[in-house]
A and B are shown apart, each in its own frame.
Chain A
Amino acid sequence: MILVHLIDYLRDRLKYVIRACYVVLAGVAVWGSLVAYESHHAHTAMEKWPFFWSIFGFLACAIIIVVSKWYGHSGVMTREDYYDE
C-alpha cells in the first residue's frame, strides 16, 4: 500500500523529516506572530507579544504532561488488579 511505503520512506529519512518539521515550526511561529501583531481579533494585549501562542502551546503541553504525571505518581496510579481484592 502506498501509505505504508510513504511512512517507511519518511521513517528512513527521519533526520530530514525532523529538520523539515523545525522549519515548519519556525515558519508558523513567525507568521503567527506577524498575524497577531496586525490583527484586531486578539482578545488581550499579551496575545500580541511575539510567539505568544507558540509559547502557550508548548507550555500547555509541558504543564499537562508534568503535572498529570506528578499527580499520577503521587499515589493515584496503582496496580491493575487494585479493585479485584
Chain B
Amino acid sequence: MSDIWLHPSVILIVGALLLPFMQNPLVRRPFLLAIPLLTFLQVLIVNGAPGTYGVVNWLDWFLTFGRVDSLSIIFSFIMSLMCCVGTLYGLHVKNPYEHMAAWLYVAGSLGAIYCGDYLVLFLFWEMMAFSSVFLIWFRKREQSQKIGYRYLLVHTVGGLFLLAGFVLRYQVTGGDYSFGQLDVDNPTLYTYLIGIGLILNAAVPPFHSWLPDAYGEATVTGSVFMCAFTTKTAIYAMARSLAGFDILIPMGVIMALYGVVYAVLENDARRLLAWHIISQVGYMVTGVGIGTALAINGTCAHAFAHILYKGLLFMGTGSVLYMTGKSKFTELGGLYKKMPWTFVFTMIGGLSISAWPLFSGFVSKSMIVAAAFNEHIMWAGFLLTLASAGTFLHTGLKVPYFIWFGKNNCSAETWEKAQDPPMNMMFAMGIASFLCLLIGVYLPFMYDMLPYQWAEYQPYTAYHLAETLQILCFTALGFFLLLSKLTPEAKISIDLDWFYRQGGSLFLWLDRVVFQTVDNWVGRIWDKAGILPLMSISTFWSWFDWHAIDGVVDGVARGVRGLGGQVRRLQSGQLQYNIYFAATVMTVAIIAYVFA
C-alpha cells in the first residue's frame, strides 16, 4: 500500500483465518468478541480521517481500497457495529467455519464500502456472495444445498452484469474505472448493466426472489448477518453511483408494496421478515431514485436503522427457531409465557420497523417519504405511506401475535422446548433494542453521520406525530377486525423464482426426454453404421499385423537366431581357432582390398 493504512477488512480476514485454530472455548469466545470489536475500533479510527488511502499499483492499474468520505463513513460504521452484535448473538455456535463465513462476508461488505474503483468493488462484491452462501449451506437441511446453489447462481449472474457494465464503461470512456456517480441523465448500455448488477443485490423486482429463498433457509445466526449486509451494501453502491436515476422511483415503490403483499401470504416468520426487507429496501431504492440531499440522507438513515431493527427481528424469530426448531406460524403460538424477553425484544424491532414515535424507523423512513412529497412526487409519497401501514400490519402485529399470542399451534415437544435463548443471544438482542431506541430518541447519534449535513430534517413535528399515530392506530384496528382473514395457512406462494426453478426443471426434462433420446439414437446408429466398418477395418489390420509385419519381424528374428546358431557352432572356445578365423578373415579382406 502507498502508506500505512490498515483496512478494517484485514482484521476480519486474518481473524477468520485464525479462527479454526481456536479450539478451546476459553480462547475462542474472547477471540470471537475481540475481532469484531477491533474491526469496529479500526473503522472509527479510519473514519476519523477522511481521504483516499490504500492505493495499490498493480500491473497498469491503480486500485483504491480506502476511500473514506461522508457516504462510506456512515455505512462502514453501521456494518462493523452490526458485525459485533451479530457475532455476540452467534457466540454459542461451535462451528468455526460459520463464524469464518460471516466475517469474510462482513469483510467483503466493508471492502465494497471503502473501495474507490470498480475492480476492487467487484472483488469484494464476489467475496460477499461466495462467503455468505456458506451461511445457507451450514443449515445442513436437505434443501439448504439447493437453495445455496440457487443463491450463488443468481449472484454470479448479477456479478457478471456488473462486470460487463464496468468493462464496457472502461472501453467507452477510454479507461475510466473509478467507482463514482454515473451520468444517470443520459444513461447508456453500461449504466443499465451496472444498474442491473447493483439492483439484483438490492433485491429489486424482478430480481428479488433469491432473498426470501435464502434468508428463510440460512442458519439462525447466518440470517442475522445476511439480512444486514447484501442489500444495504447494494444500497450504498446505488447511492454512490445511481443517485437521481428516475427509473428507480417506481421500481422502489413497487418493491415496497410487493414485499407487503407477499408478507400477507407468508406462513414462515423468517421468510415474512425477508419479504419486509424487500419492502423496506424499496424505500431506500426510491430515495436513491429521488436523489436529492434529503432523499440520500433518508436512504442512508433508513439503511442504518434498518440494519439494526431487521437484525433484531431476525434475532427474535431466530431465537424461537433455535429454541423450538420451528419458524412457521402454523406450528407456533401462545409463547409469551415461555419466551417473554424474546417477545419484548422482537416487539421493539417490530415497533422500530413500523416507524412508531421514539423508535428508529420513525426518524429514518419519514425522511424518504418527506423527500418524495418535497419533490411533488405525490403518488410515491402516498404509496410509501400505504406500504408503511402494511409494515406495521405484519412485522408489528402479525409476527408477534401469531408467535406469542393467538392460537397455540405448538406440539407438546415444541412447547416443552420453548424458553428464552442463551444469555449471549439475549445480550445481543438487548444491545440492538437499545440502539433502536437510541436512534429514535437521541437524533444526533445517527443524524450527525448523514452525508449531507446541511439538509436539515425534523421528524418530531406535531403533524408528523399526528399523521403517524393515526395511520398506525387505525392499521391496528383493521388488523383486529380482519384477524380471521390473516389466519396463517400452511402453504407457499409462487413468485418469479418459479421461472428459473421451473426453468431448471424444464432443462432437466429436456435433458431426460430430448437429449437422452437423441443420444440413444445416435448410439444405435453408431452401433450399426460406425462400429461394424470399424471392426472390419480393425480385423484387416489385425490380420495384416499378424501375417505381414509379424512375419517380417519374426523372419528376421529367426534368421538372426539361425545365424547365431551357426556362429555358435563355429565357436569352440579355443584361442587358436579364434586367431585362425580372425587371421583368415583379415587376409581375405586385405586381398580383396588390394586386388579389387
User: 1/0 per position for A7-51, CB-CB distance to B under 8 A?
Assistant: 100000000000001001100110110011001011110010001
User: Closest approach, in angstroms, between the C-beta of B243 and any C-beta of chain A?
Assistant: 23
Taking A41-B464, A43-B373 as contacts, is the C-beta distance between A58 and B265 under 8 angstroms?
no
Question: Does B37 touch A at the CB level, under 8 Å?
Answer: no
Chain B residues positioned under 8 Å from A83 (CB to CB): 492, 501
**In the complex, what residue of chain A is closest to B472 when comparing beta carbons?**
A57
Q: Is the CB of A62 within 8 A of B381?
A: no
User: Which residues of the other chain, A, contact B569 by a CB distance below 8 angstroms?
Assistant: none
Answer whether residue B493 sits at the interface, using C-beta atoms and an 8 A cutoff.
yes
- A–B pairs, 26, beta carbons within 8 Å: A3-B340, A3-B343, A3-B344, A25-B477, A28-B470, A28-B473, A31-B466, A35-B462, A36-B467, A39-B461, A41-B463, A42-B463, A53-B471, A54-B470, A57-B475, A60-B471, A64-B260, A65-B478, A66-B482, A66-B485, A69-B264, A71-B265, A72-B493, A79-B491, A82-B492, A82-B494
Which residues from chain A sit less than 8 Å from chain B, CB to CB?
1, 3-4, 7, 21, 24-25, 28-29, 31-32, 35-36, 39, 41-44, 47, 51, 53-58, 60-69, 71-72, 75-80, 82-83
Residues of A within 8 A of B482 (CB): 61-62, 65-66
The one of B461, B478, B485, B494 in contact with A57, judged by C-beta atoms closer than 8 angstroms, is: B478
Q: Given the complex, which residues of A lie within 8 Å of B549, measured CB to CB?
A: none
Task: Give per-residue flags for B362-393: 1 if the beta carbon is below 8 A from chain A beta carbons, else 0.
Answer: 00000000000100001001000110011001
Measured between C-beta atoms, what is the minimum distance from A26 to chain B in Å? Answer: 10
Q: A35-B466, A57-B471 are in contact. List 8 more A-B contacts (CB 8 A).
A: A28-B473, A32-B470, A36-B467, A60-B389, A61-B389, A61-B474, A78-B491, A83-B492
Bound-state Cα–Cα, A49 to B479, Å? 24
- Chain A residues within an 8 Å CB radius of B493: 72, 76-78
Count of chain B residues with a beta carbon within 8 Å of a chain A beta carbon: 46
Tell whether, in the assembled complex, residue A77 and residue B491 are in contact, meaning their CB atoms are under 8 Å apart: yes
**C-alpha gap A69/B393 in the complex (Å):** 14
Q: Does B469 contact A (CB under 8 A)?
A: yes
Smallest CB gap from A2: residue in B: B340
The interface bits of chain B over 332-348 (1 if a CB of A lies within 8 angstroms of the residue's CB, else 0) are 00001100100110000
Alpha-carbon separation in the docked complex, A76 to B494 (Å): 5
User: Quick check: A80 and B490 within 8 Å, CB to CB?
Assistant: yes
Name the prevailing secondary structure of the A interface residues.
helix
B570 at the interface (CB under 8 A from A): no
Nearest A residue to B501 via CB reads: A83
| B residues 477-522 touching A (CB-CB < 8 Å) | 477-479, 482, 485-486, 489-494, 501
For B257, the closest partner residue in chain A by CB is: A64
CA distance A55 to B382 in the complex (A): 13
Residue with the greatest number of chain B CB neighbours at <10 A, chosen from A35, A44, A67:
A35
Is the beta-carbon distance between B463 and A25 smaller than 8 angstroms?
no
